[in-house]
Amino acid sequence: MTDVQAIANKIVENVERVIIGKRQPVQLTVLGLLCQGHILIEDVPGVGKTVLAKSLSKSVGCRFQRIQFTPDMLPSDVTGVSVFNQKTFEFQFRPGPIHAQIVLVDEINRATPKTQSALLEAMEERQVTVDGQTFPLGPPFMVLATQNPIEYEGTFPLPEAQLDRFMLRIRLGYPSKEEEMEVLNRQRHVHPIDGILQVVSVEELLEAQEAIKDIYVDELVQSYMVELVRETRLHPDVYLGSSSRGALALYRLGQARAAMFGRDYVLPDDIKVLAGAALGHRIIVGPAARIKDIEPEVIVEDILAKVPVPGAQVAFK
């Protein structure tokens, strides 16, 4: 898995030229890219959500599109529209911004549920259907969506079906004082993103995405993943727990993380590191726990502390 490790490290180091002091969120973003998953970036304005998406697309040389969601946006503004050509007397399809490789959906919760639902088919099936005609979205395809968790006026909360299609939910957070000073110094003359160059080809990325599927996942580790997901459904503070997509996300992310660190097998520690980002947004907190301001990530931490970590198997002759 040296090749996958080298590819992942190249992308991480390149993005970190722009996103300072946020190694774990950057690594999670790269893991999502390797797993062909989608990522929800939930944080306050001005912490680098848009810049992270642009830096990622530049690093791998993918076609990039940005969609600014607003309440008056229509589904056809996302997927595309068929326009009548008066010269040929035929309808011609004009693709929307979703027909790219890395798509940034800015402020996804600003659009109406009807427009939000235009992303469902694209995210799950890698295709869009317009006027009865289906258009495939070629690999690699990744949706990076952002939303502001503080401002709720004029927003439409994402439905559970939409949230469940995101492999990860990450938060960047504010930088430390030293990191913020470094941001000021780096942007003294030009923005660092202007100097970002492609470090990995699309072909190399596609090969890495296929290579991680061969990473070994022991049956005990698989059982550990499933047990974590099942506990989200049984926890007393949870109204609705994770679906099976949560276990699938942990499985694939565990493989990618093992490859990123140069291993050809998944450890329980990989799953513990990934559980909060992979399961937190799939949990609906119960009313009593919501009153106490209990966050889903706290529930995941409680489950991790309760579920026993599997040990090594001993082969007896």
The alpha-helical segments, DSSP class H, found in the chain are 2-15, 23-34, 49-60, 76-79, 113-116, 118-125, 160-163, 177-186, 202-211, 219-234, 244-260, 268-279, 287-291, 296-306
Task: Give the mean pLDDT of 28-48.
Answer: 91
Task: Give the mean pLDDT of 288-311.
Answer: 90
Sequence-distant (6+) residues with CB within 8 A of 312 are: none
Residue 168 clears pLDDT 60, i.e. is over it: yes
Residue 312 clears pLDDT 60, i.e. is over it: no
Per-residue model confidence (pLDDT) at position 149 = 77
Residue 88 clears pLDDT 90, i.e. is over it: no
Per-residue model confidence (pLDDT) at position 277 = 94
Per-residue model confidence (pLDDT) at position 188 = 82
The conformational region for residue 80 under phi > 0 = left, psi -120 to 50 = alpha, else beta, is: left
Model's pTM, two decimal places?
0.90
The CATH topology of domain 1-210 is Rossmann fold (3.40.50)
Query: CA-CA distance, 73 to 71, in Å (whole number)?
Result: 6
**Arithmetic mean of pLDDT over the chain:** 90
Q: What is the CATH number of domain 215-310?
A: 1.10.8.80
Per-residue model confidence (pLDDT) at position 316 = 46
Per-residue model confidence (pLDDT) at position 317 = 43
Per-residue model confidence (pLDDT) at position 204 = 93
Q: How far does the chain reach from its first CA to its final CA, in angstroms? A: 31
Token pair listed for 202: 């699309």
Q: Where are the domains of the chain?
A: 1-210, 215-310
pLDDT band of 161, cuts 50, 70, 90: confident
> Do 1-210 and 215-310 show the same overall fold?
no
Residue 2 clears pLDDT 70, i.e. is over it: no
pLDDT band of 39, cuts 50, 70, 90: very high
Is cis: bond before 113, omega within 30 of 0? no
Interval 102-127: pLDDT, tens: 999 999 988 888 888 888 889 989 99
Q: How far is CA 195 from the centre of its chain?
A: 25
Interval 194-245: pLDDT, tens: 888 999 999 999 999 999 999 999 999 999 999 999 999 999 999 999 999 9
Rounded to 10 deg, the angle between the 202-211 and 23-34 helix axes is: 80
Cβ neighbours of 128 (radius 10 Å)? 22
Amino acid letter, residue 73 = M
Give 242's Cβ-side CA count (13 Å radius): 32
Query: CA-CA distance, 278 to 78, in Å (whole number)?
Result: 26
pLDDT band of 148, cuts 50, 70, 90: confident
Residue 311 clears pLDDT 80, i.e. is over it: no
